[in-house]
Amino acid sequence: IATLNKKPIRKPKIATLDKYDRSRTKLRTFLTNINLYYRYNNVPNNKKKILIANTYIKEKVAS
């Protein structure tokens, strides 16, 4: 009996998010991108979402 060589299916890669720098004009883009990131990576709860978002915010905004 012949068997198929099965390779694991990998998710496509997505670009890393740009850091948000307090610009009002870039806020909507940042929020859209971070929400796509959450969906793609199946982020389970708001606490983890906040921690992830905080890593993509420049220091002067987070303080």
Per-residue pLDDT tens digits for 13-53? 888 889 999 889 999 999 999 999 999 999 999 999 999 99
Q: Which has more confidence, 40 or 2?
A: 40
Which single residue is written with the structure tokens 């859209």?
A: 32
User: Which residues contact residue 38 at a Cβ distance below 8 angstroms, ignoring those fewer than 6 apart?
Assistant: 49, 52
pTM tops 0.75, yes or no: no
Amino acid identity, position 29: T
Backbone φ and ψ for 20, nearest 5 degrees, come out as: -85, 135
Q: Output phi, psi for 59, to 5 deg.
A: -55, -45
pLDDT of 62 over the 60 cut: no
Residue-level pLDDT at 50: 95
pLDDT confidence tier of residue 3, bands split at 50, 70 and 90: low
- Other Cβ atoms less than 10 A from the Cβ of 27: the count is 11
